[in-house]
Structure 1
Amino acid sequence: MSDSPPPRSRAVLLTHILPSPDGVGLMRRGWRWACELAAAHDLDIVLVTQGAEVPVPRTPLPGALHVVRSTGPALKRRRLTDWFEPDAAAAAALQALPGPVPARLVVFRFYLHDAAAHLPPAWRAVAEMDCDDWESATRLSLAGLALRRGRWRRAAAGLAQAWRYARLERRLLPAYRVVHLAAFEDAARLARLPGMGEVRATPNRLVAGPRAAPAPPPPEGRTLLFVGALFYPPNEDAVLWFARGVLPRLRRLVPEVQVVVAGRARGSLRRFMARKGLIYAHEPADLEPLYAEATAVIAPLRGGGGTKLKVLEAWHYARPVVATSHALRGLRAETGRHALVADDAALFARHCATLLTDPARAALMAREGERLLREDYSLGPSADAPAPPHPLG
């Protein structure tokens, strides 16, 4: 008798981004899927790209990487922002992918549907779609942000995109065996669409590997930190709203406050931050020193989709959070326990002042946030056992 283990089943992750545990939000969610699938199966990561060079992974991937490039004219034009439109060569490569039918096939993001449509029919029968964000709702939210800032053309374009995405969601998503979304609110609403099958709230999770205990905030510190891709409209809007509406009020309460904004910003936003006295950290290679100097983290977001990894990251570094209600959507966070929440500029300023001047309150909230992260949103050795789904009532 042979003592060799039985062969493992196979899983496939179809993605447009290279999964990484320390990249932007999409890369981290891709990593979440790669770890979950690789824990129970032999994983093939099929990366579809439009001619770009594939970067060398900083962290070894938990599966075999296969690259499918699309460089010619698209087979079908959708007129949708971010939609991946494969050419004939990419379609042929996807149809010819070798190997048995996978036990699980996860398509990462709705805008890869036209790529997934060229997979072998037996593969498509087991396909799951991870929308992450609910695209039509996100586009509608972005249009709302543009309206608030008087950008009428951008708002109209966003509304048109939301309408087109909504039509495709109703027509295409029911074909998938399971549809995943990051926020339980989105999953509950999507599940009520006609013809939908199983819809799961599959939350974002951060890597929770071994590390040193987070550094405590500096004594008498007065520093707030905001981290985000500042070219993304919701993050840009968050900085503008905070600087214009919150910061003047906060400076009257805590005159010595400092605000650090980390990310990649356009020149106009950099100049705005300089005029307002915000400290800008351009694409820092390591965020840990910035978190070490921060007393608290702010998440003044008023639009966008999904759940916000910046909140989870703040808890990862044991920092208390002041957030809008939108920034906490999809998370099991209790107001006053895991974060201070305000959608009004004056109240947001008072909450920031509380955490800057009450170290005991700030430390307690940081501990509660870190505990919630460990319990519900950590990606550890048991990545094969996903967090329990949120009820879809």
Structure 2
Amino acid sequence: MKRILFISPVLPDNNGSGREKRAYYWLQKLQHHYEVDWLVITTQNLHTPTVPLSNYQHHQLSIPYARISKVAHMAAICLSFTLGSIRGSSLLGWYPLQKHDRKQLYNLYSNLRYEKIICFRLYLSEFAQYLQTVTHTTSMWLDMDDIESATWNSIGNLLLKNRIYKAGIYHKLAAAQFYVNEHKMLRLFDRIFVCSRKDQELLSSRFLTLDIHIHANKIESKPIPSISPTHGLTMLFVGTLGYYPNEEAIRWFVNHVFRIMHQRDNRFALIVAGYAPSVSLHSFLQQTPGITVYANCNDLASVYQLAQLAVTPLHAGGGTKIKVLEAMQYGLPVIATQEAVNGLDLEPGKHYIAAETSNEFIKSCEAILYNSNSYEKMRKDAYAIVNNQYSYTY
């Protein structure tokens, strides 16, 4: 069996964050055709996947990378814009290849040969480029997932709108850096993958000669759930809570939607589930009557069973949102902003309820929770499109 090297910032985990789920999907797809060596390059401590990695024919090597200070990053970025590219001059998300990394990678990989190298996320491309040389690999693919420059710019705009100026400026500078690096690094790859047709069209308009493919986010197929609605008035928000667009979304929803609903009818409840909430967010949620927090939850299936409705009031971000697909797969009706369903072939009114303002969310939430029987067809249609277009079975 031929061998490939997969370079990733995360371990594959079907019960993890969006990146971990996408990595897991790649692993499921590749392991039937290749032996997969998995190289993890990360700035964070890795949690243990809920599915043991020993189940798969690959091994995992981790190279921790320590970020330099934001002040040093800022100075290097300013110089790079005026004097040209400076190695390691990226801010908030780019992983520059350092001298000690080269030495360690050479010792680990110089005697290995691969059919191809797949790099998951653009910010690891310096590592992929070096390893291609070290291992004499002829073919190299890149999975961008989303277009980083657009994602960072979107989050930066939201931060500035909310008057969080320092972080907003950092994100806007990072967006500019990614834009420059996209022009510099994408040409190194034989094939590039993005998660949606929208991102494919945007990237193709900028790079006419690149071979760009859609590798949609998908979730593992599950049997159709019981569609008979359960009685209750509980809403659910799922997401990585340490990610600013998710934190902003749930704070907005609590302040502008849930508190008003709970004052009208104190039977309304909200479950918030996800990884890594900040201390301030966790305290904010716990102090709000009617809210239950499942922080660092490893069993989302049981949480979905507690709710009658999923809400995704996102205002920024990138890529496609797996949380929307999961909620539909578990049989929950979904109320979502346009940002939350970007890149997904979903029809408002058929697969989900569209809402942007607080009044629209309140009206739709109350309509569904008070009369859930009326939305049985929507739940079936939503499950069907997820099962047909956004799920996989191996």
Same fold, TM exceeding 0.5?
A: yes
Give the whole-Å Cα distance in 2 for the aligned partners of 1:182 and 1:85.
24
Distance 1:241 1:124, change over 3 A: farther
Q: 1:63 aligns with which of 46, 57, 68?
A: 57
Q: How does 1:311-390 map to 2 (within 5 A)?
A: 311-381=324-394
Give the whole-Å Cα distance in 2 for the aligned partners of 1:151 and 1:92.
40
Q: How does 1:159-178 map to 2 (within 5 A)?
A: 159-178=172-191
Report the Cα offset of residue 174 of structure 1. Answer: 2.2
1:19 aligns with 2:30: no
Tell me the equivalent position of 1:9.
Answer: 2
**Identity, % of aligned pairs?**
25
Mark the runs of 5 or more structure 2 residues left unpaired by the alignment: 69-85
Tell me the equivalent position of 1:289.
Answer: 302
Q: How many residues align?
A: 371
Report the Cα offset of residue 30 of structure 1. Answer: 0.6
Please give the per-residue CA displacement for 1:303-342, whole angstroms capped at 9, x wherever unaligned: 1111111111102211111111100011111111111011
Give the whole-Å Cα distance in 1 for the aligned partners of 2:209 and 2:329.
35
Report the Cα offset of residue 46 of structure 1. Answer: 2.3
Checking the alignment, whether the CA contact within 8 Å between 1:296 and 1:355 is kept in structure 2 is yes
Give the whole-Å Cα distance in 1 for the aligned partners of 2:43 and 2:335.
39
Report the Cα offset of residue 353 of structure 1. Answer: 1.5
Give the whole-Å Cα distance in 2 for the aligned partners of 1:71 and 1:262.
29
Tell me the equivalent position of 1:152.
Answer: 165
3-state secondary structure, aligned to 1:327:
helix
Tell me the equivalent position of 2:29.
Answer: 36
Checking the alignment, whether the CA contact within 8 Å between 1:80 and 1:165 is kept in structure 2 is no
CA RMSD, 1 decimal = 2.6
3-state secondary structure, aligned to 1:371:
helix
Question: Which segment drifts farther, 329-338 or 118-127?
Answer: 118-127
Checking the alignment, whether the CA contact within 8 Å between 2:220 and 2:392 is kept in structure 1 is yes
1:86 aligns with 2:86: no
1:261 aligns with 2:283: no
Question: Which segment drifts farther, 69-78 or 230-239?
Answer: 69-78
3-state secondary structure, aligned to 1:293:
coil
Give the whole-Å Cα distance in 1 for the aligned partners of 2:341 and 2:65.
39
The amino acid that maps onto 2:6 is L
The amino acid that maps onto 2:319 is G
Distance 1:123 1:336, change over 3 A: farther
Tell me the equivalent position of 1:114.
Answer: 126
Between structures 1 and 2, the one with greater helix share: 2
Give the whole-Å Cα distance in 2 for the aligned partners of 1:127 and 1:93.
21
Checking the alignment, whether the CA contact within 8 Å between 2:241 and 2:247 is kept in structure 1 is yes
Report the Cα offset of residue 78 of structure 1. Answer: 2.5
Give the whole-Å Cα distance in 2 for the aligned partners of 1:275 and 1:216.
33
3-state secondary structure, aligned to 1:150:
coil
Checking the alignment, whether the CA contact within 8 Å between 2:13 and 2:21 is kept in structure 1 is yes
Give the whole-Å Cα distance in 1 for the aligned partners of 2:59 and 2:196.
29
Give the whole-Å Cα distance in 2 for the aligned partners of 1:37 and 1:243.
41
Question: Which segment drifts farther, 350-359 or 83-92?
Answer: 83-92
Give the whole-Å Cα distance in 1 for the aligned partners of 2:64 and 2:19.
20
Tell me the equivalent position of 2:256.
Answer: 245
Report the Cα offset of residue 201 of structure 1. Answer: 2.1
3-state secondary structure, aligned to 1:84:
coil
Checking the alignment, whether the CA contact within 8 Å between 2:194 and 2:214 is kept in structure 1 is yes
Distance 1:146 1:124, change over 3 A: farther
